[in-house]
A and B are shown apart, each in its own frame.
Chain A
Amino acid sequence: MSPATVVFALLFYTATAVLLAGLGWRVADYARTPAPLKIPTTPAPTSTTGVVLRLVREVALFESLFKANLWTWAAGWIFHASLALVLARHLRYFTEPVWGWVVFIQPFGVLAGITMVLGLAGLLARRLLVERIRYISTPSDHLLLWLLIAIGLSGLAMKYFVHTDIVAVKAFFLGLMRADWQPLPADPLLYVHLALVALLMLVFPFSKLLHAPGVFFSPTRTQIDDPREVRHVAAWASKLDRT
């Protein structure tokens, strides 16, 4: 067992634990915090089904962003849709046998690796070139983009230029999941790719990447427009009724 294998095994255990625990903690915190007033951005749906559809449109199509700015929408949507495909494609390294639909999307997933980087490049270009967005950008905004670009490029490099022993990589991850460690191929590009992915997992619950769970808890998008029909009172506010 090489030292690198041990380091990456421990790194991925840690990163997974931090990601899950951190996200779980944030989500629990969002869910626990009351929304004392009805504040949906109207026109808003008047039923639960309507709200679910609003969220689906928001998450799958980025409806609001589409209204706001076509360039940001295009780059952002291409990046996120590609990322979803890339992540789905990567399931093949964590499942044995590989699920049918994962096999099916494999070619699209590979293509998505390229469009993902293009989408990120578009977002980075906006951040660098558009005065307003340059003004609001913090160093972490840039670094997160570069981190994702580096993950994408290192992955694409292994796909197209310097092939890694992907069968062994899969054995390594299956081994991690079964607590039966297998050696990780000694490949610098692979090390870079995996280290960056672990870093992304580690920063996720502490960064703006919380927009992912956040959208599902945003009262302006998740509340039903029915304040005249249903009395909505938060626990801390209902105490006032009894005074």
Chain B
Amino acid sequence: MATKVEAPPLRQYPVSPPLVAGSMAESRPYVASDKIQQAIGFPGELAEGWEEKAVAHMGTLLSKYRSLKVFMDACVHCGACSDKCHYFIGTQDPKNMPVARQDLMRSVYRRYFTLPGRLFPKLVGARDLTKDVLDDWYTYFNQCSECRRCSVFCPYGIDTAEVTMAAKEILDHVGYGQKYTNEIIGKVHRVGNNLGLPGPALADTLAGLEEDVKEETGVDVRFPLDEPGAEVLLVTPSADFFAEPHVDSLIGYGKVFHAAGVRWTLSSKASEAGNFGLFIGNYDQLRAIALRIREAALELGVKRIVVGECGHAWRVAYSFWNTLAGIGRGAGDDDPFAQQIQRQLDSRYRQPTHICEFTWDLIERGALRLDKEANDHRVITFHDSCNVARASRMGDRPGGQFEIPRNIIRAVANKYVEMAPETTREKTFCCGGGGGLLTDELLDLRVKGALPRMEALRGVADEHGVNFMATICAICKAQFTKVLPYYGFKMNMVGGVHQLVSTAIRLGGNR
């Protein structure tokens, strides 16, 4: 796919752009091969009779998910969401308006599941599920990063992410899967992480990190793997093990654990916090991938589970682990499955705990020695990652997911500025690479989707000299590293919150 990758010009005023119909009709990710599909239990390819199968599966999903059922009915086409999607703003393709994206499925829902759609399809915009329609699904549901920004503005809380996930589930179910995501899901089952990094390689990498940190600080900071009896199991995105700038945050976590005097370990079995089962809306995959964490925790006998910097992984951990794997609290007496893990985990702590919650607790207690001046070469801003912002929480109060990372940054650095308020917190814009779209053949889409964030960054870079955008998501980090240069920024402008912690923290001679 030799598509031209082009960054749109930054807008002078952030007004809603005019429509350019079909501008992204050619943007589609590679289709999964039959081998990739079958490895995770989906049919290899689109086969005879897929129409009935797809409609029947939609019926199943409608009966299993209240969200989908209500969202299919409730939309009034008010247009509140129509200019809220970063992909729409960056591409101007009308089918990237959240409502239009949902309507790709809603039109089919109306045709097969509602009376007016059966009787008067034209009147209510109902369509048969033809190959063209299915191709449209594949094209445009693969231009949604499931960031939920539209759901903030919808008067009925319709969340396009739920619709996109259902569409991808139906596509997978008829053998029309997306290569990037499904290949990775296969890898996580086969090898233990999304990058396909086997245990021995992981052990090598961690040993190398120990040497690096020793050289830098003179302190023996450990990065343990598969150590039974550790108190904390750290589950982190596998990109943290070797990708830049991710690894700098992993070093930060290690230093924080060291300073706190906590015995911790990574797990080769659960060497991946990411859960791409979320992106394809498949409950079985979501669950199977989450269960690896449970098994690792049970085997290692840990008391706490801490999750590293990863947006969608934190959504899955915070919102779904209790449901899927019993990792949390509140198991009933008749729930031996959840009790097993909950009896082992220490209920005095939040289970699971975000690494930012962990670090902020230490900072609040004065347990870390921090040298803020060490970050003085940086003027920092913070990019809220969508799944953290709109699908999870940190701390005890709503909105803690915004405050805690910012509190940490202010505690470890002197120069911090906010980007424009309509682009942060619950209104944050996706980096442009989430939801299973972080693949090279979608680079043009990813660059265009980053536009609103790049505009906000340009604003603080010009006005305040911002030279570092901190974020707590592996996908954000990888995506920005790739797209920043298209907008004239340096790729190393992006990094993790714990990268900043790592710079400021003082080890040795510590309490």
Partners in one complex: yes
Q: How large is the interface on A (under 10, 10 to 19, 20 to 34, 35 or more residues)?
A: 35 or more
Contact A65 B80 (CB under 8 A): yes
Q: Kindly supply a per-residue 1/0 record for chain B positions 142-185, scoring 1 wherever the CB is within 8 Å of any chain A CB and 0 otherwise.
A: 00000010011111111100100000000000000000000000
CB–CB A136/B100 < 8 A: yes
Query: Does B351 interact with chain A (Cβ within 8 Å)?
Result: yes
Q: Give CA–CA (A44, B338) in the complex, Å.
A: 25
* Interface set, chain B 405-426, CB cutoff 8 A to A: 426
Q: What are the residues of chain A within 8 A of B153 when measuring CB–CB?
A: 64-65, 67-69
Query: A157: CB under 8 A from chain B?
Result: no
Tell me the smallest distance from the CB of A108 to a CB of chain B, in Å: 24
Residue pair B329, A36 in contact (C-beta under 8 Å): no
Docked-complex contact A33 and B157, CB < 8 angstroms: no
Contact present for B125 and A140 (CB under 8 Å): yes
Cα distance A69–B319 in the bound complex, in angstroms? 30
Interface residue? A219 (CB, 8 A): yes
Check B287–A240 contact: CB distance below 8 A.
yes
Q: CB distance B330 to A214 under 8 Å?
A: no
Chain A residues near B328 (CB-CB < 8 A): 227-229, 231
What A residues does B392 contact at CB under 8 A? 42
Encode contact with B along A213-227: 1 for CB under 8 Å, 0 otherwise.
011011111000101
Whether the Cβ atoms of A39 and B391 lie closer than 8 Å is yes
Q: Residue B398 contacts which of A44, A123, A133 (CB distance < 8 angstroms)?
A: A44
Binds B, one of A95-103, A165-173, A202-210: A202-210
Residues A72 and B152 in contact in the complex (CB < 8 Å), given A39-B391, A45-B398, A218-B158 = no
Partner of A231, one of B71, B125, B331, B426: B331
Residues of B within 8 A of A221 (CB): 156-157
Contact in complex: B67, A227 (CB < 8 Å): no
Interface of A is mostly: helix
Asked whether B77 lies within 8 Å of A33 as measured between CB atoms, the reply is no
**In the complex, which residues of chain B have a beta carbon less than 8 angstroms from the beta carbon of A227?**
318-320, 322-323, 328
Report B84-104 residues with CB < 8 Å from chain A CB.
Answer: 84, 94, 97, 99-100, 103
Output the nearest chain A residue to B122 by Cβ-Cβ distance.
Answer: A139
We find that the number of chain B residues with CB closer than 8 angstroms to chain A is 78
Listed residue (B80, B335, B350, B389) with the most chain A CB atoms within 10 angstroms of its CB: B80
CB-based contact B83/A132 at 8 Å:
yes
Q: Which of B64, B151, B158, B352 contacts A36 (CB 8 A)?
A: B64
Verify if A155 is at the interface (C-beta below 8 Å from B). no
Question: Is the pair A39, B159 in contact by a Cβ cutoff of 8 Å?
Answer: yes
| B70 with A138: CB separation less than 8 A | no
Contact with B along A10-46 (1 / 0, CB 8 A): 0000000000000000100110011111110111111
> Which residue in chain A gives the minimum CB-CB distance to B316?
A37
Q: Is A130 an interface residue (CB 8 A)?
A: yes
Bound CA span A118–B8, Å: 39
B406 to A: closest C-beta gap in Å: 14
Q: Are A241 and B350 in contact (CB-based, < 8 A)?
A: no
Q: Is the CB of B79 within 8 A of A69?
A: yes
Instruction: Check B157 against A43 for contact (C-beta < 8 Å).
Output: no
Contacts of A76 in B (CB 8 A): 78, 155
Residue B80 contacts which of A37, A68, A143, A233 (CB distance < 8 angstroms)?
A68
Please name all residues of chain B whose beta carbon is closer than 8 Å to the beta carbon of A242 when the two chains form the complex. 337
CB neighbours (8 Å) of A208 from chain B are 73-77
CB distance from A29 to the nearest CB of B (A): 7
- With A132-B79, A228-B350 already in contact, the answer to whether A220 and B319 are too (CB < 8 A) is no
- When the two chains form their complex, are residues B80 and A232 in contact, meaning their CB atoms are under 8 A apart? no
Q: Which residues of chain A from 99 to 155 have any CB-CB distance to chain B below 8 Å in the complex?
A: 123, 126, 130-133, 135-141, 143
A35 in contact with B65 (CB, 8 Å): yes
Contact A42 B116 (CB under 8 A): no
Indicate if A211 sits at the interface (CB-CB under 8 A): yes
B401 within 8 A of partner (CB): yes
Chain A residue numbers with a CB within 8 Å of B322 are: 227-228, 230-232
Residues from chain A with Cβ under 8 Å of B74 in the complex = 208, 210-211, 214-215, 218
**B residues in contact with A35, CB < 8 Å:** 65-67
Give Cα distance in the complex from A208 to B99, angstroms. 13
Tell me if B123 and A136 are in contact (CB < 8 A): no
Known: A69-B80, A220-B151, A231-B326. A33 touches B69 (CB 8 A): yes
The answer to whether B70 and A43 have CB atoms under 8 Å apart is no
B73: which A residues are within 8 A, CB to CB? 26, 208, 210-211, 214
Cβ-defined contact, A37 with B352, below 8 A: no
**Contact indicator A42/B393 (Cβ below 8 Å):** yes
14 pairs, A vs B, C-beta closer than 8 Å: A33-B69, A36-B283, A41-B157, A72-B78, A123-B78, A132-B82, A139-B123, A208-B73, A227-B318, A227-B319, A228-B329, A230-B322, A231-B332, A234-B64
**Interface residues in chain B, defined as those with a beta carbon under 8 Å from any beta carbon in chain A:** 16, 18-19, 62-67, 69-71, 73-84, 94, 97, 99-100, 103, 114-116, 122-125, 148, 151-159, 162, 283, 287, 318-320, 322-323, 326, 328-332, 335, 337-338, 350-352, 389-393, 397-399, 401-402, 426-427
